[in-house]
Structure 1
Amino acid sequence: MASPALVPAAAEDPSFAELIAQRPHLSLHALDGLTMEEVPLARIAAAVGTPTWIYSAGALRRRYARLRDALAGAGLDAGIHFAVKANTSLAVLRVLAEAGAGADVVSEGELRIARAAGIPASRIVFSGVGKTGRELRLALDEDIHQINAESAEELAMLSALAASLGRTARVALRVNPDVDARTHAKITTGLSENKFGVAYDEAVALYARMAAMPGIRPVGIAMHIGSQITAGMAAYRAAYARMAELVRELRARGLPVERLDGGGGLGIPYRDEPAPLPEALAGAIRATLGPLGLPVMIEPGRWIAGPAGVLLASVVIEKRGEARRFAICDAGMNDLVRPAMYEAWHGIVPVGAAARAAPLSPADVVGPVCETGDTFARGRALPPLAPGDLLAFLDAGAYGAVMSSTYNARPLAAEVLVDGDRFAVVRERQGFEALLAGQRVPDWLATGPAAEATP
């Protein structure tokens, strides 16, 4: 009996040429294949191996500059604080620090990495719903720009700590505007049912209490409604309008408001979906918050870093099932978890130059992890693939390496920064010995093979 036809690829998927054309730091050369800036990805694979994360310094600089210029062009006094949770690479953060970016951090580790990357404490904002006493103490010791408090309980803890240390914390109150960002349920943060921020109706009273607390200096209000927002500016405008209303009420009560933190969340087109531009975000801020005459800050992560990175992987084997063709890669869901966690779509482009002329057929792109969910794409149009052929997973510069794990005892991948015609390893590939580092066997357990149990 003949095998059933392979499942067809999605007709609406953009072509390789279309994907590359939308990402100016990538190009496909006739001899060198897929290239980032001036470095062929095959050259990096030969030198470093796979899987490997690769970031474009040029793309990071260009995207930061475009966002900065959009805000300035709208006449805004605005600061850009990169959301470190999107990418904690020291090299990536150094590029952005040199461009003038501040940082939005959500943990002690992110704060320490931001400082190590050269971002001044005066440009660091500490967000997050579960800051510990140790983390707050570090923020006070570093004298960072602002702490975004998310609850009355956190304010009480911070007040007691700051007063005991003889410090004064600059604090913004994070308010939950109860606005639907129309993004994935796992990355929306601005609904009343979410864990983040204080309820809008309680904000004025809590802000007034905060102003009377020892060790606390209220500096403004903050919000963040979610990540990967692509459904236009309506949600931003609604949330910003609520912030403006809140500021007016605080001012009417004689309470000080020095600045506004509008959060991040600006989405990117992973496939070919429309996504708002920085100019649209700047326009929404100007229309809603501009009349207040206050400095504003935003906290982008994905918009700056997402398109700047790829995950480079090698094909292990191409397996033909009864009804499907599988391209099995050496990268797995432990490396790039977004497709498994969020059903996320990433462009997948063959690196070899010959792929441009090869016939395409549907393939499921999967990893080696022992989970059916270890699937990057289904029915994707790809050329024939042999062991060792390279694939580039696009738009992996945000929420890629930072969400990696060592599941299935798979070491963490290497990371590389490309800058013009240069590249350098900026994080070594984890060795297998590191998987055992820090582990201990209790001294009461026998050494060597366990004795066979006897009846």
Structure 2
Amino acid sequence: MNYFDYRGGRLHAEGVPLATIAAEVGTPAYVYSAATLRRHYKVFAGALASASPGVKHLICYSLKANSNQAVIRVLADLGSGADVVSLGELRRALAAGIPGGKIVFSGVGKTAPEMRAALEAGIRQFNVESEPELEVLAAVAGSMGLRAPVAFRVNPDVDAETHAKISTGKKENKFGVPFERAREIYRWAATHPSIEIVGVDVHIGSQLTNLTPFERAFAKVAELVHALRDDGHAIRSVDLGGGLGIPYERNAPWPHPDAYAGVVQRTVGNLGCELIFEPGRMIAGNAGVLMASVIYVKQGQDRKFIILDAAMNDLIRPAMYDARHEVMTEREPAPDSAFEKVDLVGPVCESGDMFARDCEVPPLAAGDIVCFETAGAYGAVMSSTYNTRPLVAEVMVDGDRFAVVRPREDLESLIARDQIPEWLRGGAARGGSAKGA
């Protein structure tokens, strides 16, 4: 459920007409609903609490889904922790009010400076993904006179049955340590005086719409926890990662958090461990839309193109993952509207700059506004300035009020990032021909 709906024939985000936002902020723009963020967090937390009463849970929102400070603050106010994968995300989490003790640091390529900053912040744990990484972490922690809390991310070789680019739990993926070697690696890690072993971590992929892979992976983790305890390790936490899928298409089947929580209880609920979760898309996905305006309606030889002011650099998921986002027009279609099939495309010079092919929409004209649903996760965070297109604005709505939470970048600032070396300055004025280039 989200809070984007028609009221009086106009599309609203909670109590604010999107036309009002477009008039003040312009398009393209991302619009987020605080009420949706809160609802999704509470539904997920409530499902876990109901399925596993008495079991301690920590939800660490995954910043890679949407790292806007306003989004993080909404969740921090609900008690959320954070899952981070870079120094930048660590600083964002701290700046938004999430305490270090609720932050887990994941990722395969943590650097020594990142480790030092995380230790200074007193993070809850490092999810370590390789033996070389542990050696560096041990050296950094030792130099600081600290012990680094560690959970190894294990790779259970379980097919997440999701898109290949977001599957992370098979043996050919770069993530985690081999499940078969986990006990050996934990024994070796325990010999480092500056390392404190606290738990086990697993994450098999993103956008899972089938719960069976979770069940297989979590059952293997439970088996490993028992074995590690037999080896003398005090395993007190299990980080189950994220990955719970959401519906991108209306009426598409998707797993409810209640069903997911049931899998958690059956597999790891009786281990006596604190359970850590890293939801990202599940919290933020349906909490945002990308709002765009029609520039031109172009009739091709055998199809009609609706050319928008948003492009693949603003929302890359359709081009990168062949993803589909449902489309809503800002004006509610009349009951007798004659829908037509069109291609919704952007202005970038790539054939892949297409949001939807054969999309059924009511008649559109230049200046009309459309919204791509379920754009709150992996939208703005993956945007770029390709074709020297400035990053778009981000807006947060909360009830009947709204605010710009990331201003639209201006061209002057974008171009000013570049610096021309001294020896090239004045070169154009000295002349020179481009003939034959």
Same fold at TM > 0.5? yes
- SS of the residue 2:150 aligns to: strand
CA distance in 2, matches of 1:24, 1:260: 30
- SS of the residue 2:132 aligns to: helix
Unaligned runs of 5+ in 1: 1-22
Amino acid at match of 1:66: V
Which position in structure 2 is the counterpart of 1:255? 233
Residue 12 of structure 2 corresponds to residue 35 of structure 1? yes
CA distance in 1, matches of 2:415, 2:335: 43
Distance 1:454 1:129, change over 3 A: closer
Shift of 1:442: 1.1
Give the 5 Å matches for 1:86-101.
86-101=65-80
Amino acid at match of 1:58: A
How big is each residue's C-alpha offset from its partner over 1:96-142, in whole Å with a ceiling of 9 and x where there is no partner? 00011100000000000011110111100000000011111111111
- SS of the residue 1:161 aligns to: helix
Distance 1:358 1:450, change over 3 A: farther
CA distance in 2, matches of 1:72, 1:407: 44
Of 218, 222, 232, 1:240 maps to: 218
Sequence identity (%): 53
Which position in structure 2 is the counterpart of 1:19? none
Of 86, 92, 96, 1:117 maps to: 96
Does the CA contact (< 8 Å) of 2:128 and 2:153 recur in 1?
yes
Amino acid at match of 1:363: V
Which position in structure 1 is the counterpart of 2:401? 422
Amino acid at match of 1:102: G
Distance 1:29 1:406, change over 3 A: same
Which position in structure 2 is the counterpart of 1:63? 40
Residue 352 of structure 2 corresponds to residue 358 of structure 1? no
CA distance in 2, matches of 1:85, 1:422: 26
Give the 5 Å matches for 1:137-216.
137-216=116-195
Give the 5 Å matches for 1:52-451.
52-74=29-51, 75=53, 76-231=55-210, 233-271=211-249, 272-354=251-333, 357-447=336-426, 448-449=428-429, 451=431
Amino acid at match of 2:244: L
CA distance in 2, matches of 1:168, 1:110: 22
TM-score, normalised to structure 1's length? 0.93
**CA RMSD, 1 decimal:** 1.2
Shift of 1:353: 3.1
| Count of matched residue positions in the alignment of Structure 1 and Structure 2 | 431
CA distance in 1, matches of 2:21, 2:132: 49
Amino acid at match of 2:200: I
Does the CA contact (< 8 Å) of 1:160 and 1:214 recur in 2?
no
Distance 1:312 1:355, change over 3 A: farther
Distance 1:225 1:382, change over 3 A: same
- SS of the residue 2:220 aligns to: helix
Shift of 1:241: 0.4
- SS of the residue 1:416 aligns to: strand
Distance 1:195 1:26, change over 3 A: same
TM-score, normalised to structure 2's length? 0.97
Shift of 1:384: 1.3
Unaligned runs of 5+ in 2: none
Shift of 1:438: 2.9
Amino acid at match of 1:452: G
Distance 1:343 1:129, change over 3 A: same
- SS of the residue 1:156 aligns to: helix
